[in-house]
Chain A
């Protein structure tokens, strides 16, 4: 999804001379072409995420549309204060169109250990006023978002998975990006709500049932709470699945607030990473199993509530 997004940006750089692409020494096949075609608007700041944000902010203050690319945990956490001061606060007073491309959401860099896992980003980026948080589940949705980033001012965090994922959205014509989510499967009693990589797992689990709904949340801020409630109000039970720390501001908190504010008797389970870092090694499915994000566990919750 990273490359499809960069390709979509690259296409727009030809006609829009105000677009800059800045990277903290992170590459991508699609970036090679961008670098070659637009060398005067491609900047590699080196492994310096703080300066990445500051330089991006300076470019944006001069009216440029800026894409700032780094590894997700380092982008969001190493440079958190720069994002706060020069993007979140500044954009409340002056136009600042900086789009943060964080690659390596959740467990993307599975064997690189807890420094490269990114379980905090949804919560900490949602926390900041004026921020948009985008978490696509496939490359088509990611590419569609490129046009949105140019025309909607303000800082945005784009949370991309580090692995190549299969297509979910064959056709995005019917998707209204501003709605922030899409009902992939209509269900009866139980609905799985997921974001990013986990939407693939949610669909796989739901395919084994006839009546389990799946909602893919791709904009975690701003969230159209009213619309989301309309989508889930008739379910008996909701399960959120995400590769982030749960109970601390992620997708689960967002959904549980919608439930609490509107119909508190909807049943709710939130699956994700509990309050500890993961040192264990293995593939993504293995780490999911260790943390209750495996298919069997999701199915068990469905069986308990699908009656």
Chain B
């Protein structure tokens, strides 16, 4: 990746983190830590020109589909969508407020979101249905899930289905931040070895540092260009609460809301 592009994407990631924290200040119910581990994933997909989309025609039939199954962790996508013009930037100042359409868990009433989200473990199966139709049209379906979401049984029904039906246009991204709600995933249901699990199910699996934009964007680009019949999974190793030390070091960060003072400290860190 050219240094100027990497610099551009890095600055965007910083901006997205700061905007996400500002939103959290307005709407403390939002899941901040979950929305910070996937920032580089969103930045790579949108600013890194991996996804085909059209903000003026959000339901343009030629778009790539991006189904965000861990939608509670997609507050960080709000500033990106506003930046591209899916909706007005002023909307970011009234998230979860009366009359706003930007809720604590984004869904398909928001321009740029494909599905209803909230209950976990649904997105991959829905993506399989879309992928069947879109395969012959050369369009890709991306899905974002959290690692804790893999505890849901319906996910594995879809994992098996995708291989059976040769859904090579399906790219699953796992935000592998290793923390669920109450504990580290390994202490609840150990998912390791995750890469081998997917390989055993017939998927092509790639592991990447989920905060290294250069490697992340290149991996996503390669997976999108790969027209083999294998469904693909990108396991992005991330840090829950990335960029905010108060969250990074707390196993209970999923449910943690920052107060004004803590937000000020976080903003100091993210300069």
Is the CB–CB distance between B108 and A62 below 8 Å?
Answer: no
Question: Which one, A48, A59, A93, contacts B132 given CB within 8 A?
Answer: A59
What residues of B have a CB within 8 angstroms of the CB of A249 in the complex? Answer: none
Contact status A55-B125, CB under 8 Å = yes
Whether B118 is near chain A, meaning CB under 8 Å from some CB there, is yes
A237-270, CB < 8 A from B? none
Q: Are B128's CB and A51's CB within 8 A?
A: yes
Given contacts A48-B157, A85-B122, A93-B108, A58 and B128 within 8 Å (CB-CB)? yes
Q: Which A-chain residue is minimally distant from B139 (CB atoms)?
A: A62
Chain B interface, >50% SS class: helix
Inter-subunit contact A57/B108 (CB<8 Å):
no
Q: How far is the CA of A48 from the CA of B155 in the complex (A)?
A: 11
Shortest distance from the beta carbon of A137 to any chain B beta carbon, whole Å: 32
Tell me if B194 counts as interface (CB < 8 A to partner A).
Answer: no
In the docked arrangement, what's the CA distance between A63 and B119, Å? 23
Whole-angstrom CA separation of A43 from B160 in the bound complex: 14
* B122 with A59: CB separation less than 8 A: no
| Contact (A93, B109) CB under 8 Å given A51-B161, A54-B125 | yes
Q: Are B109 and A57 in contact (CB under 8 A)?
A: no
Decide yes or no: A90 and B116 within 8 Å by CB, A58-B127, A59-B133, A60-B129 being known contacts.
yes
Chain B residues within an 8 Å CB radius of A48: 154, 157, 161
> Which chain A residue lies CB-closest to B132?
A59
Map CB proximity to A onto B128-172 as digits: 1 under 8 Å, 0 otherwise. 111111100000000000000000011001101100010000000
Q: CB-CB < 8 A to B126: which residues of A? A: 54-55, 57-58, 61, 86
A89 at the B interface (CB under 8 A): yes
A54 and B154 within 8 A (CB):
yes
Residues of chain A with a CB closer than 8 A to B176's CB: none
A46 to B161, CA, bound (A): 9
- Cα-based distance from A85 to B67 in the complex (angstroms): 14
Name which of B108, B122, B125, B128 has the most chain A CB atoms within 10 A of its CB.
Answer: B125
Main secondary structure of the interface of A (DSSP, over half): helix
Contact count band on A: 20 to 34
Highest count of chain A CB atoms <10 Å: which of B115, B129, B130: B129
Give the distance to chain B from A215, nearest Cβ to Cβ, in Å. Answer: 37
**Interchain CA distance A60-B109 in the complex, whole Å:** 17
Q: A45-B161, A48-B161, A90-B116 are in contact. Are A57 and B154 (CB under 8 A)?
A: no
Task: Scan A38-72; emit 1 where CB is below 8 A from any B CB, else 0.
Answer: 00000101101011011111111111100000000
Q: Which residues of A contact B153 (CB under 8 A)?
A: 50
Q: Is the CB of A55 within 8 A of B129?
A: yes
Chain B neighbourhood of A204, CB < 8 A: none
Q: Assuming the A-B contacts A54-B125, A81-B119, are A59 and B157 also in contact, with contact meaning beta carbons closer than 8 angstroms in the complex? A: no
Chain B positions within 8 Å of A51 at CB level: 125, 128, 154, 157-158, 161
B107 lies within 8 A of chain A by Cβ: yes
* A94 within 8 A of partner (CB): yes
B271: min CB distance to chain A, Å: 39
A97 on the B face (CB < 8 A):
no
User: How far is it, in angstroms, between the C-alpha of A55 and the C-alpha of B119 when the chains are bound?
Assistant: 16
What residues on B are CB-neighbors of A43 within 8 Å?
132, 165
Q: Which residues of A contact B124 (CB under 8 A)?
A: 54
User: Is B114 in the interface zone, CB < 8 Å from A?
Assistant: yes
Across the interface, which residues of B come within 8 angstroms of A45, CB to CB? 157, 161
Decide yes or no whether A82 CB sits under 8 A from chain B.
yes
Q: How far is the CB of B212 from chain A (nearest CB, A)?
A: 31
Bound Cα distance A146, B114 (Å): 28
Report whether A86 and B115 are in contact in the complex, using a CB–CB cutoff of 8 Å. Answer: yes
- Rounded to whole angstroms, the CA-CA distance of A25 and B114 in the bound complex is 28
One of B130, B133, B154 near A82 (C-beta < 8 A): B154
Measured CB to CB, the nearest residue on chain B to A53 is B125
Q: A85-B118, A86-B115 are in contact. Are A58 and B130 (CB under 8 A)?
A: yes
Closest partner residue, chain B, to A87 (CB atom): B116
Flag if B119 contacts A85 (CB, 8 Å): yes
Contact of B129 among A46, A58, A81, A94 (CB under 8 A): A58
In Å, the complex CA distance between A85 and B118 comes to: 8
- Distance in Å from the Cβ of A21 to the closest Cβ of chain B? 13
Query: How far is it, in angstroms, between the C-alpha of A43 and the C-alpha of B128 when the chains are bound?
Result: 12
Contacts of B129 in A (CB 8 A): 54-62
Please name 16 further chain A to chain B contacts, defined as beta carbons within 8 Å, in addition to the given A53-B125, A55-B129, sorted by A numbering: A45-B157, A46-B160, A48-B161, A51-B157, A51-B158, A54-B126, A55-B161, A58-B126, A61-B115, A61-B126, A62-B134, A63-B133, A64-B133, A82-B122, A86-B122, A90-B108
24 sampled A-B residue pairs with Cβ under 8 A: A45-B161, A46-B161, A48-B154, A51-B154, A51-B158, A54-B125, A54-B126, A55-B126, A55-B128, A55-B132, A56-B129, A58-B128, A58-B129, A58-B130, A59-B132, A59-B133, A61-B115, A61-B126, A64-B133, A85-B116, A85-B118, A89-B116, A93-B108, A93-B109
Give the 6 A-B residue pairs with the shortest CB-CB distance, closest first. A58-B129, A54-B125, A51-B157, A62-B133, A50-B154, A48-B157
